[in-house]
Amino acid sequence: MNVSIKLKLLIFFTSTLSLISCQNESKIEGQWVIKSVTVGNEKMTPDARWVRFHSDFTQESGNGWLQHSFGTYNFDKDTGSLTIINTNGIHDSNEPFKVEIDNKSMTWNRIQNGQMVEVILEQALKLPMTHGDELFGLWKLNEAIGSGPYFKDPDRIIDGDYIFFRWDKRFVISSGTVNINGVYNVHGHKPEVELIPYGAHLQRNFWNMKINKDTITLQLLNTDSTVTRTFKRIHEFPGS
């Protein structure tokens, strides 16, 4: 084999190995969803939290369909040290995270307020949905069990009773001739919604949510009796 052919083969194999190495290299760039957060011995995983790292060292993060933070980041590949700086956030005075990346999985670790913090992330192409994202829309009452603050008579469900969860965190309840308006808050770590109706005669209350495709069941919390309201998603207001 002459020198020219040997040189060409060497260049070919070197280029191929370099390409394979680049393809197998785990990178921080991309969109990551937080699968679990452990602080000390306690799980504190936020609902549908994500972060997106760009190659120009900018980043943004949010929960579900809501992006609420943006800024920059510093990542040292040699030491695995990660610092995130949010332009619109609070200064993070804790030590940088120590990062381990394994293909499409990533782990962050650091000591924070004297406790070990571990964050496990996975790469994702699509944004995850929060419980609040799943709650958006118009829901027709199908079943009412127990006496509660809304749709009070479980034995007399009026055809057309509904609850409407709007994108601006307001809700509308229609039950017969009664209309109730208010605002709602969805818990950031578990499937609970707080309904805060307008009017001094109505009190705020908390409900557990169980969502199964186009059906939602709300169960009243902080009560000794069972109070549930089951709804079916609809796409037109009843009677329209």
Percent helix, strand, coil in the chain (nearest 5)? 10, 50, 40
**Contact by Cβ (8 Å): 138, 237:** yes
| C-alpha closest to that of 133 among 199, 85, 66 | 66
Structure tokens at 123: 């790469």
Residue 9: strand, helix, or coil: helix
Q: How confident is the model at residue 159 (pLDDT cuts 50, 70, 90)?
A: confident
Strands 115-123 and 30-39: antiparallel
d(CA 92, CA 108): 15
pLDDT in tens, 175-204: 888 899 999 999 999 999 999 999 878 889
Please name each of the domains of the chain with its CATH number.
Answer: 28-123 (2.40.128.270), 131-234 (2.40.128.270)
| Total residue length of the chain | 240
pLDDT in tens, 91-113: 999 999 999 999 999 999 999 99
Between vectors from CA 217 to CA 214 and to CA 218, what angle results, nearest 5°?
Answer: 135
| C-alpha closest to that of 58 among 33, 87, 34, 78 | 87
Query: Which range among 9-18, 19-28, 151-160, 227-236 has the greatest average pLDDT?
Result: 227-236
Q: What percent of the chain has pLDDT over 70?
A: 86
Structure tokens at 114: 């004297």
Higher pLDDT, 235 or 156: 235
pTM of the model: 0.81
Residue 131: strand, helix, or coil: helix
